[in-house]
Amino acid sequence: MLFFTKYNYFFLIAVPLAVHEWLERTAGWNAARRMSELWRWTRRIVSSPTGVFVGLYVVGLLVIVRTGGFDFQFLGRRISVHTIGNSGHVVLYALLARLWYRHRRGRIDRVPRTSSDPRTRALLLWFAAPVTIWLASPYPNHLRDFANLVINRPLGEPTVEAGLATYLDALRTSYFYSEWLLAFVVVAFGVGMVRYRRQPPLMQWLILAVPLQFAFIALHQTRFPRFLLLTVVLLCLAASGEVGRWFAGSGRRRLMAGLMAPMILAAGVVAARNVVTQQRFQTAAFENYTRNDTLRAAVDSIRADLDPNDRLAIVGQGNEVSPALFRWELGPPSGLPCFPFEIGGARGSDLALATRVLLLAPLGSGVAPLDVTSFYLTQRRAVLERAERGNLVLRREIPVADMHLGFWLYARASRPDREAACQ
């Protein structure tokens, strides 16, 4: 269920589990033998025909995402290639066909693989099969959503070094009541790491998960302090487990721990009541909450200009003018029958399917909260070219001066032959 509801948290938990399982299965091996075996398996997979095919596809996909993609004409129709689109299904179906072919030819002997570990069969039936079916479904395009979430847009701090500094500062100022408490938790976790080989399996997994999660979060190109939440919870669990071990040595220490626990719990409750009133908590809690009366007035005027039969496409987004904000303000939650749709992205559609187009663009000389990517520039140019040809007619021009942002609302000169589905 975690995979279907929150990809990122699933991987933050599953990858350390896989690493722990691998370390358990290779217990007694030294680091050189482990690296040698890992390199052998990696080379074997990458050098196989299937590995080469998937590798070339991934490289091509990264180039498209990095450059913004391209358009071309085929049989009189414009074909846009800006994201993974439906190509992921072609690759997935090819891999499944290859797997079935090898199975039918007797090249995959599943009996030893499933009988050697009883968990393997359950993993295949209750995880691999449902996830494969879910990803293979052509509509809705879950595979595209998944790929766009994994790649995502570069937001937050621009470099890994700046992201690390922000995350470390967030640990000190946002996640812990005081610096001495953070220091105590880190020391307890460090002591637990030193005793890794003598720890129970759950503690071993926690000790592996914390640094791995921190590394994944820092390396990912979307960097916000809220992504540390799961890692901080596991860090505190690991530290508390190690502290619990300190008091488990004798009956006197267990009695002392039993007397201290209610007092520590009460202190935590009282501290939490004070923390929620502090500015640092409100800054973190309302990090993505947009407070702007001019923006609200602009969105209200756009909503008033739309009728129930309109299909609104939005070109442009940013952290303060996110797709979620427009889906809330210009969709069913605000009384309109349909959600607006993006051009490109995880739920992207074609600009030609829209009856109204809302273009977001920088205004003035200030810095606008807008992600000016190569893909955005391509789509903005497409809107302006359609406006010059008369296909789109400007209805409203709404400046949001304090955000250095402008909204341009266009209407199609004629109703399109086919419209975007109402969602």
- At 34-54, the pLDDT tens digits run 899 889 988 988 888 888 988
pTM of the entire predicted model: 0.67
pLDDT at 211: 94
Element containing residue 119 per DSSP (H, E): helix 118-123
Proportion of the chain in helix, strand, coil states, percent, rounded to 5 = 65, 10, 25
CA distance 301 to 280: 34
User: Mean pLDDT, to the nearest integer, of 231-259?
Assistant: 86
Burial grade of 85 (CB within 10 A; 0-12, 13-18, 19 or more): buried
User: Mean pLDDT, to the nearest integer, of 190-211?
Assistant: 93
Around Cβ 419, how many Cβ atoms within 10 Å? 16
> Residue 153 in contact with residue 316, Cβ under 8 Å?
no
Cα 332-348-326 angle, rounded to 5 deg? 35
Q: Which residue has the higher pLDDT, 312 or 290?
A: 312
Tell me the pLDDT tens digit for each residue of 367-403: 777 877 777 888 888 889 988 988 899 998 999 888 8
Tell me the pLDDT tens digit for each residue of 325-345: 888 888 888 888 888 876 654
The first and second tokens of residue 331, run together, are 């969709």
User: Mean pLDDT, to the nearest integer, of 310-314?
Assistant: 88
First to last CA, the chain: 24
- Given the structure tokens 């180039």, which residue do they identify? 63
pLDDT band at residue 194 using 50, 70 and 90 as cut-offs: very high
Tell me the pLDDT tens digit for each residue of 109-141: 655 555 567 788 888 888 888 988 888 887 777
SS (H, E, C) 313-366: EEECCCCCCCHHHHHHHCCHHHCCCCCCEEECCCCCECHHHCCEEEEEEECCCC
- Given the structure tokens 């080989």, which residue do they identify? 197
**Long-range contacts, 211-215 (Cβ 8 Å, 24+):** 212/15, 212/16, 212/19, 213/12, 213/16, 214/167
SS (H, E, C) 167-210: HHHHHHHHHCCCHHHHHHHHHHHHHHHHCHHHCCHHHHHHHHHH
The answer for 177, left when phi > 0, alpha when psi is -120 to 50, beta otherwise, is alpha
What whole-number percentage of the chain has pLDDT above 90? Answer: 15
CA distance 16 to 2: 15
Return the closest-CA partner of residue 342 out of 367, 320, 360: 360
**Long-range contacts, 338-343 (Cβ 8 Å, 24+):** 338/310, 338/311, 338/312, 338/422, 338/423, 339/423, 340/312, 340/313, 340/314, 341/311, 341/312, 341/313, 341/314, 341/420, 341/423, 342/313, 342/314, 342/317, 343/313, 343/314, 343/315, 343/379
**Long-range contacts, 393-397 (Cβ 8 Å, 24+):** 395/305, 395/356, 396/301, 396/302, 396/305
